[in-house]
Structures are given as C-alpha cells and as structure tokens.
Amino acid sequence: MELIQVEGGFPLSGEVVVEGAKNSALKLMVATLMAPGVNTLTNVPNISDVHTMGTVLECLGAVIDVADEHTLHIDTSCIDSWVTPYELVARMRASTAVLGPLITRFGKAVVAMPGGCNIGARKIDMHLQGLAALGVEFTIDHGNIHAAAPHGLKGATVELEFASVGATENLLMGAVCAEGTTIIDNAAREPEIVDLADMLNDMGAHIEGAGTPSITIEGVSSLHPVAHRVVGDRIEAGTFIAIGGIAGGPLTVKGFDPKHLDIVLRKFEAMGINIEREEDGVHVSRAADTPIQPSDIQTLPFPGFPTDMQAQTMTLLALAAGDSFITENVFENRFMLAAELNRMGADIRIEGHHAIIHGAKGFSGAPVTSPDLRGGAALVMAGLVADGYTKIDGVNHIDRGYEHFVEKLQSLGAHIERHEECPLNLDSFAPRKA
C-alpha cells in the first residue's frame, strides 16, 4: 500500500499543464467500439481509470497499441464479445458506458449491474429507460443486465428526469445508428458531452445541439474510425487553481478552456483569489494579506458548479474568514471528506446534503484517508498548507484521475512524496511492562 506524505507550508509557484479529461477519454474510448477499424485518441490521460477502460475494451476483443504515454490506437475491427463482467464494472462504474455502443454494434449487450459506490447509490435507471424508448428490451438476472433490440433501434423522444451525464452519453451512443430521429430533452451539457458528440460527428454521425438541453440525433447506417484529441481536463485544472488559491501561488494552469470552468472561477474570484484568464489556461494568485472570503456554493449539472470541484472548494472554505455553506445536489453521499478535514483542525458540520463550514485559522498535519478521488486530492491540498506533516492513505483513489499528481506538485515547489506504507508495528503501541 502506498501513501502520500506532504510537509506543509512551502510556497508554490510555476506552471502546470493539465492532461486530457478523464470523463471524456473514458467515453471516447467506448465510442470506438462503434467504428470498426483503427481509431486514434491523443491527449489521453495516463491514469488508472483509463487503464481499466483499456482492459474492458480488450476483454471485448479490441487491440490497443499505446503509441506514447498519451496516444492510443484502438483497433475495434475484431470485437467479438458483448459481455462486460462484474469484476470490471465493480472496479469502475463508468464501464457501464459500453451499453449504448455494444447495442449499436451488435444489437445486444450483457453488462454487470453496477452496485453503489462511496459517493452514493448511483443508479442507472435513466440509462435503461432511455434505451428502452429506442426499442431495447432488458432483463436482469444473476447481477447482469441483458439488453437486446430484437426489432432494431428506432429513434424516439426521451426526456431525462435529471440531466445525467452517463445517461445522456449512453443514449447518444445508442441513438447514432438508430432508424430515424432521436431527441434527448433535458440532456446533460457538460463539455465532455460536446467532446463525445464532436468525435461521433467526425465518425459520420448526425448530432446537433450537444452542449444545449436538447440534442437531436439523425440515425446513420454506420460509423467509421477517426483520430481525435481529448478535451483538456477542467477538473484537474480546477484542482490546481484551488491549490494556487489556498497556497497563494502565483501558478499558471494551462491545457484547458477556462470557459469550461466559468462558475468555479467566478466563485473563486469572489473568495479573494486573483484569476487572469487566457485562451488555454489561467494565472492564479492570492496575496498573503487577503484572507479567503466565505461563500455559498450549490453543486448542479453544467453550467452549474461541478460536484467534482466540491471537495477542493470545501478545503478552501475550511480556512475562510467566516462561515460558508455548500449544498450538494448531484450525489447523495459526497461529504466524507469533512470528517478527514476535521481531523486536521477544520470545523465542518454536515446536515443532510448541506455542509456548514466555520472557517478555521489553519490545518494541522495528520494521518488521513482519501474518501474518494476528488476528496483525496483535496486532502493533499490541505496538507500543502498544513502545519507539519500530513500522510494521505488511499492513494489509489487519486491515481484514478490525476496523472503524476505528486511530480507536478514537486515541480511547483511542494515538499511531497509517495511512500510504501510501513507495516503497522503494534508492539510499539503495547503498554510498557513495569
């Protein structure tokens, strides 16, 4: 088991370039299943979720050539399976994104039913209802979803109950080759949806309205392979911007479109963080004599405040000069970070889906455990400004979504390293014999 150790209090400055977006790369990878031949993806982040998705594709028969650290050639001409086993879905819920593409390619799919995860029950009922409207019949047995479209896929109008990212993507990929027109109303508008629609259109699909609440898809008979560059990761960027905000910077964060993070940047500015926007990044700083101002944040689907930036923002607000509020509207159980930050001296109370944060004077380094991907990054962030040493356990969560996180922070001047965890020696805790 590895852990990250940070010695807090050192100034950070310099430039960091973010990778391609995890949430985009994973869906672009599954989209290649629908275009037999060699597809090329560039700017792919080298993170463990991408490795897991690679295993999912290989399990279905794809051949992946890793041309360099960020370029994948995915040959999907020999896909000969439509079954995604539980071991892979359990490792990464986003594996369920294969449902739409496999139904498009084979008219059928078997995908293990995902369980809950540490941020909530995360149902996929909207994915299934939407695909059912296109003619897919589902049965569930022994923990697997068996999907089949015995009469082919037919376009339909589907109104999502909630602007779910995953349901919008599965439906897009189920509808690209359906007969006739599909309309997805109340569709998710995240930049990663636009990236997926752009790649599908390059493959020959006819999709209009991606990035708006209503997406129209005219079915086409087939798709062809393409080369596509993954959009920059706005959440990795937001994490480094939050780090610049808490530590003071100055930092330059590049490789993403600041428009994809607009509400986060505006909220951070209101909190006293200076942000200068450029086309492909931002400069971040906060003067030592400018305290972080309290705020009131509500997470919402894009263009609202992203739930994936909630943990990093909670860490900033834990040190604000006053009381702040965060309301989590997207996931039901995404406040597990609060208890870990409280171990470091924060004063955060959780009431249902609200967090009440009384600003503390500072963090004090402590051993803590990553509750999830973004919570893990947020604990590293707290450690960077804490008094003394912070040891963060559960590094596997951070590795799911951040490439070379420790090395990037070292390059900014952080005193941070990864360690093999020493086995616990209980003898040293034994009561002394008289």
DSSP letter at 429? G
Q: How far is the CB of 82 from ligand UD1 (least distance, A)?
A: 21
Q: How far is the CB of 428 from ligand UD1 (least distance, A)?
A: 40
Largest CA distance in the chain: 84
Which residues, 6 or more positions from 43, have their beta carbon under 8 angstroms from its beta carbon?
19, 20, 70, 229, 230, 231, 232
SS (H, E, C) 368-402: EECCCHHHHHHHHHHHHHCECEEEEECHHHHHCCC
- Closer by beta carbon to ligand UD1, 231 or else 292: 231
Is residue 78 among the annotated active site residues? no
What angle is formed at CA 227 by the lines to CA 222 and CA 228, rounded to 5 degrees?
Answer: 105
Which of the residues 78, 117, 177, 422 is marked catalytic?
Answer: 117
Q: How far is the CB of 6 from ligand UD1 (least distance, A)?
A: 24
Q: In what order do the strands lie in the sheet with 323-327?
A: 296-298, 323-327, 354-358, 347-351
- Closer by beta carbon to ligand UD1, 102 or else 366: 102
- Closer by beta carbon to ligand UD1, 353 or else 358: 353
Question: CA dihedral defined by 372, 375, 380, 382, rounded to 10 degrees?
Answer: -150
- Closer by beta carbon to ligand UD1, 164 or else 186: 164
Q: Which residue is nearest to ligand UD1 (CB)?
A: 166
**Cβ contact 185:158 at 8 Å:** yes
Interhelix angle 262-270/310-317, rounded to 10 degrees, is 0
Q: How far is the CB of 180 from ligand UD1 (least distance, A)?
A: 24
- Closer by beta carbon to ligand UD1, 145 or else 414: 145
Binding site for ligand UD1 (CB under 6 A): 23, 26, 94, 120-127, 162, 164-167, 188, 306-308, 330-331
Q: How far is the CB of 278 from ligand UD1 (least distance, A)?
A: 25
Report, as residue numbers or ranges, the catalytic residues: 117
